[in-house]
Structure 1
Amino acid sequence: MSGQARKWAWESSTSRGTARLVLLSIADRIPDAQCVAYASLAELMERTNASRNAVRSALAWLCDAHELEALKGYEGPMGAAVYRMPRPAAWLAKVAAAKKADPGLRTEDVEPLTDADRAPALRDLDDELLRKRRIRHTGASESDPPVQDLTGSESDPPRQNLTPSRVRNRPSTGADSDPQNCSEPKVNGSYSSSSAAGLTSATDWQVDDASLSWAQQQGHLDRLGEQGLKAADAKWRHYRSTGSPRTAAAWAADWKSWIAREHTPTPQRPNLYALPGGSPAPQAGMTRSEAHMAALLAAVDEPTGTE
């Protein structure tokens, strides 16, 4: 079904520049007639070769133009944002209804889409099918206010100032994917100067689809659970935050090695703090000797920095 979404983006979308690239990147990931797909901010930056602010501005423009919907109450792997393309969804729903009424009707004979044709309501989305696509419903109501947070994964670096919506998302000069200024970060937090090209810090590096698929295929996602994987990711970033910048591939390899060594959570182990400096307060009902044992286990679990 991504073919129908791409066809609409190429032939009917009014977007330009970075906004068009962002829309096409999302359309390329749409698997079925619901026209729903997830994408993190880091993935869109990498696919479009655009800066963080440029991608955020493009997403805001697309939502304002009703060419894209950011679905509140749904999230993808690692908290990735979930989007729907409403016009292709409306067209596919219209075709399905017309063929149900007249099984012999050809797609090209269906009446063209009009402004009165709307995409199916969110309550009609097939949650079981979405779960197979690694998208889960978090339980927010459809009547909630439209989502405004376009930042993507919760592990992304702190949000920078979003370009006001009244500013055109296409710069007056240069390529559409160029940064807004010379100091603005590009893909994975690296800067546009040639001396730092391809290098990023552990804090700015984002978990890509390949690394996430590796964690799932190797059984680490099932072993640790989603929350456990997030905790391990936060712990890794803490210990690697002072390291020298590396390439994204180098950080990915290091991250995989860390996740593979991470202890499997068990009910028998005390609820230890994950990072140095965290509160070692004992759990309610723990004796003094149990609190000492918890502290010793935490010290054993903490990496020495020589990994």
Structure 2
Amino acid sequence: MSSEAREWVWEHSSSRGTARLVLLSIADRVADEQCVSWASLSSLAKRTRASISTVREAIDRLARSGELEQLDDLTGPQRSTVYRLPLAAKAVAQTVENEDGAEGPTEEYEATPAIKVSALRRCGIRPREVLETPSRVRKPAVPETGRPRRKPAPRRTGNRQSDVPETGTQNRSEPDLNRRYSSGGTAVLSATEWQVDPATQTWLRQEGHLDRLGEQGLQAADAKWRAHRADFKPRTAGAWAADWRSWVTREHSPSRPNLSTAPGKRPAVPSGMTRAEAHTAALLAALDEPTETEG
């Protein structure tokens, strides 16, 4: 019966363009005089060489024109959509009646013939089961309050899940002070806002930097670091912690002897000198010291 359905599309359909190709593709799968067929959007897109969105728009136009209807209470193989060509079905039914020899009227039927579902089972078309309703299959059970059963989210986490950290695993060991500037899921803050976290304090003790520099020396190193990093772009707390540790590792101990202040040398170099100027002053002081051959 697909030939009769295709013939009706060619001769009587007012569809054009992609809509006409879609209607012909559906009519090509008609199995009997009921003009019922099944097809998926992907298969129609492949046969018509059109996108799925274009096929969907074509089906909507055909449905508005009355040349195609979607039977939502039926489902085809692999849960595909079932369609019907109602105008073609009326024409085919009238042709069958005239071939039976009845002296029927020449006008068309007033209503589309009823669908016989039992005759469609051999084509893989069957009634849609109630359990396939999305509201009963996909919707999980929820308590009476209408909200899913889950642990309440901690404060200041917005819509985040309770098992997801706010700034990632990098900052789990850091205090809240380094996480309250979080934006978009990752904490970013300036060098002046960053504070030494417990993990960094433990690192100072284990590596011996606290004993080497002392409290005052460590505070001086921290102040210099913040002054040099004041104009840097904001970073994550983990990045600042790594940079701060590298700075402290290179910091000299306050008790380290200064060659320029050793006995027999020139006075201490003023603090305003650069490192190159300080080294030059130390070399000049060493040249002024008499050797064993001089006397």
TM > 0.5 between the two?
no
TM-score range (shorter-chain normalised) is 0.3 to 0.5
TM-score by length of 2: 0.41
Structure of higher RCO (CA pairs closer than 8 Å, 6+ residues apart): 1
Larger Rg computed on CA atoms? 2
